[in-house]
Amino acid sequence: MTTTENAFPIPTQLFINGEYTDSSSSERVSVYSPVDGSLVTDKLQYAAEDDVNRAVASAQTAFRSKSWAGLTAKERGRALMRIYQVMLAHKEELAWLDRVTMGKPVNSGLAEVQLAADLFEYYAGWTDKHAGDTFPADDGFLKIVQHEPLGVCAGILPWNGPLALIAVKTAPALATGNVMILKPSEKSPLSALRFASLVADILPPGVVQVLTGAGATGELLARHPQIRKISFTGSGLTGKKIQRAAAESNLKRVTLELGGKTPAGIFEDCNLENAVKWAVDAITKNTGQVCIAASRIYVQESIAEEFVDAFVKSMKAAADGIGDPHSADTKYGPLADQAQLARVQSFFTEDAGKTQVLVGGHRHGEKGCFFEPTVLYNPDPQASVYKNEIFGPVACVRTFKDEEDFLQMANDTEYGLNAAVFTKDINRALRISSRLESGTVGVNCVSMLDYQVPFGGSKQSGFGREFGLYGLKSYTEPKSILVK
């Protein structure tokens, strides 16, 4: 580990078989702050093929070892509870490590650590409750179905929610007896490395390991013949590559969450104040860098003027919350890095003249990767900013006449991750929810998840489910046993 003048030590090595270790490659990579461009570290190591092989071998040994495979379900639950406790004990440090790489504001970062810890607590309670099935022996055979762990799993993480996604993938994997190799994004790798070292005193060596690296490292994991499952959260393009690599190697199981373009329908009978609040929060949270961000807002014509005026006013006010993420008063930080800032800005170059900008649309300030909360009105349906995932605080507002008009526009996309409807009519809410092509639908709320219920997408937003019982099932293989 490299110690700096910062608040906490910055981990730069790989974490394999229970300890920090140097990569077999001499390559060292620099990480910069998106707040002011300052250097965070220039010593980050990337995993090469030898390192991946070493980690997989260690994971395979751990998976079959008595110290892990020999634990009872209750003992695994106690281990997950200890992870919950150690994460809370190091809450400030874990949040800080994401803050220096991602610019995630203090309160937002602490809330993410809490969510991640809560997921380990939640799955700790599942370890001895994931029951199988039995069927009557009326044909002379007792039929038993039990759920068995897959083995060595890999989680490839996005940069926008490092700690949350560590827990989303690792907690159910461990609860069901698997072992996990994590590959964090090269943009936000530090919290994963520290997490692995914290749980090393709880879990046997090799149960949780971290390999930092870019796309090449992820491909090595996706193609490795001894890895039985890949869980990936990220772009559709990378997801297709992972699925292809998994199929061409050993047909490993794949869970893909590939982003979205969330539509929210605001009907004339809604609670307008509530709809505006959720619409603003849904596109500004994490500076819009959220896969379920409500970036398509559809408002019924009869209330369009009233809603848009209130929405624009609230988005203007949101800009006052942009600032130094190290301050507890800051609500919104920067975009991830210069590349993400350039991407968001590119939409306004490509779509010049195709949409009306009501507020925002520009970089915020002269330093760092900050971008103004932005509202676009009635954009061209073919405009890139309307059709594609932006991953910034940019909302497109369009008007609609009736339910059918809203549903046609909302479903006219290859994304199907999250959607919403705002109305006081419960019959309308349920009617529309059943027809929205989306893995999750919010009624009078949007961009809302709950780890008790499954989360995942339809169409090109991916497949497979995380959270709840479905998260456990995705890390197990059902086995049928027939007893004469």
Which active-site residues does the annotation give? 257, 291
Residue 203 is classified by DSSP as S
Distance, CA of 122 to CA of 335 (rounded, Å): 31
Tokens of 457: 């997408």
Residue 332, amino acid = Y
Q: Cβ neighbours of residue 75 under 8 Å, at least 6 residues apart?
A: none
Helices marked H in 182-235 — which ranges? 190-199, 215-223
Phi first, then psi, for residue 103 (nearest 5°) are 70, 25
* Cβ contacts of 127-134, under 8 Å, gap ≥ 24: 127/73, 127/74, 127/76, 127/77, 127/80, 127/175, 127/176, 128/72, 128/73, 128/74, 128/77, 130/73, 130/175, 130/176, 130/469, 130/472, 130/476, 132/478
Tokens of 317: 């006010």
Distance, CA of 203 to CA of 357 (rounded, Å): 52
Distance, CA of 367 to CA of 474 (rounded, Å): 44
How many CB atoms lie under 10 A from the CB of residue 250? 12
CB of 301 within 8 A of CB of 403? no
Q: What is the CA radius of gyration of the chain?
A: 23
